[in-house]
């Protein structure tokens, strides 16, 4: 049995490609269909799907059949690539140049780095480990996870914990959410008197809220399909004495003209805000500018709003330049983390190699 990883990330593919094959369900526990379909892929014994705003990848355990194990891996990798196309109904899309494929020790190294946030857009951010664990639980629930990947991902979690404990890679707050707030502050030197609308009520919006509160912002507008999620968010932040105005989701178009900044992060698979909505809002604002930051994948704000005068839109890929400015402090800690990962890769690979040798001898 060997491990392969097939996927794409912010390093290999633009947002316009990534969003075509992302698995938009926020909780795989509510939609196990992708995992159930993955189990049917020929050559795949076990599998896990990781889908975040910056990456979509499949980790699979492949059964090697004696002398032809190289061909077995090649076929399985091709089948996994086809699965991504066919599941998302884009069989004619050629994204081979965007895909990465890792086998054996390289796959182990890649996954340990991902779990430890060394391959993230924001190196050291804490969200990715939770996302990997969520994918792990969903894979278990769908019975797509077997003994090989069970051991593998538990080791990946251990490695991520070592990196967090033994380095200061996450000591300074640099996340996609914090960078989004930093961008807002670059646009407006003073945010206190600005109307800020948050679309969504998930983990990323919670992170953005935390950073806005640190900037002494005390009033927000929030729109979300689920009112229950908004109420839960309000409860978590009630001790900050902030004022949260709820905007009915179906009335977003009627509220836009009041906003100076709009940050969107939802799991909605289509555009929530369109060009026609922007044109109406900017006319009502008498051409006073509005700034939008869309960190959703797939995107929630139609990119064509760039054509509207005095409307400015940034997406998650636009945040990368700001991230690079903030990463200098973490470079040394990242080097320490890479050493930990390499040490753990060597250990796990040797254990796996000896286990496979023993199983072959007993076959």
pLDDT above 90 (res 67):
no
When divided into structural domains, the chain yields a total of 2
pLDDT above 60 (res 363):
no
Same domain, 167 and 309: no
pLDDT single digits (tens) 104-130: 999 999 999 999 999 998 888 888 999
Same domain, 128 and 7: yes
Same domain, 337 and 253: no
**Order of strands across the sheet that contains 219-223:** 243-246, 219-223, 196-199, 261-264, 290-294, 311-315
pLDDT bin (cut points 50, 70, 90) of residue 28 is very low
Residue 256's domain spans which residues? 176-322
Provide the CATH number for the domain around residue 65. 3.30.460.30
User: For residue 358, what pLDDT is reported?
Assistant: 52
Same domain, 348 and 310: no
Provide the CATH number for the domain around residue 217. 3.40.50.720
Same domain, 258 and 207: yes
| Cα–chain center distance at 312 | 23
Same domain, 109 and 236: no
User: For residue 24, what pLDDT is reported?
Assistant: 65
pLDDT single digits (tens) 287-300: 899 999 998 989 99
Q: Is the pTM of this model over 0.95?
A: no
User: For residue 230, what pLDDT is reported?
Assistant: 83
Check whether the bond before 298 is cis (ω within 30° of 0): yes
User: For residue 256, what pLDDT is reported?
Assistant: 94
Same domain, 282 and 354: no
Same domain, 194 and 147: no
Check residue 355 and report its DSSP letter: H
The backbone region for 200, taken as left when phi is positive above 0, alpha when psi lies in -120 to 50, beta otherwise, is left
Same domain, 187 and 116: no
pLDDT single digits (tens) 5-16: 999 999 999 999
Catalytic residues: 53
Same domain, 256 and 312: yes
Same domain, 160 and 33: yes
Same domain, 157 and 183: no
Query: What CA–CA distance (Å, rounded) separates 174 from 337?
Result: 17
């Amino acid at each position: 049995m060997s491990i392969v990883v097939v996927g794409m990330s912010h390093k290999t593919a633009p947002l316009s490609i990534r969003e075509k094959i992302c698995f938009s369900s926020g909780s795989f526990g509510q939609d196990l269909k992708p995992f159930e379909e993955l189990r049917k892929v020929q050559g795949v014994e076990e599998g896990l799907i990781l889908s975040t705003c910056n990456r979509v990848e499949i980790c699979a355990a492949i059964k090697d059949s004696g002398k032809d194990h190289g061909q077995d891996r090649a076929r399985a990798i091709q089948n996994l690539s086809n699965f991504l196309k066919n599941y998302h109904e884009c069989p004619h899309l050629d994204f081979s140049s965007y895909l990465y494929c890792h086998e054996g020790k390289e796959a182990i190294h890649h996954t340990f780095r991902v779990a430890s946030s060394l391959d993230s857009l924001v190196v050291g951010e804490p969200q990715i480990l939770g996302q990997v664990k969520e994918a792990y639980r969903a894979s278990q629930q769908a019975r797509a996870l077997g003994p090989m990947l069970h051991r593998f991902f538990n080791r990946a979690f251990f490695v991520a914990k070592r990196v967090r404990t033994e380095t200061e890679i996450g000591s300074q707050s640099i996340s996609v959410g914090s960078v989004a707030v930093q961008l807002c502050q670059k646009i407006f030197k003073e945010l206190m008197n600005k109307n800020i609308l948050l679309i969504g009520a998930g983990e990323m919006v919670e992170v953005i809220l935390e950073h806005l509160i640190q900037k002494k912002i005390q009033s927000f507008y929030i729109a979300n399909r689920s009112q229950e999620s908004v109420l839960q968010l309000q409860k978590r932040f009630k001790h900050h004495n902030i004022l949260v105005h709820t905007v009915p989701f179906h009335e977003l178009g009627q509220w836009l003209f009041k906003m100076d900044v709009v940050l969107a992060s939802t799991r909605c698979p289509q555009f929530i805000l369109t060009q026609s909505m922007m044109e109406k809002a900017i006319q009502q604002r008498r051409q006073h500018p509005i700034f939008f930051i869309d960190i959703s994948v797939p995107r929630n704000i139609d990119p064509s709003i760039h054509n509207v005068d005095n409307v400015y839109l940034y997406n998650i890929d636009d945040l990368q330049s700001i991230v690079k400015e903030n990463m200098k402090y973490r470079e040394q800690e990242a080097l320490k983390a890479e050493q930990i990962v390499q040490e753990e890769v060597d250990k796990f690979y040797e254990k796996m190699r000896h286990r496979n040798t023993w199983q072959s001898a007993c076959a």
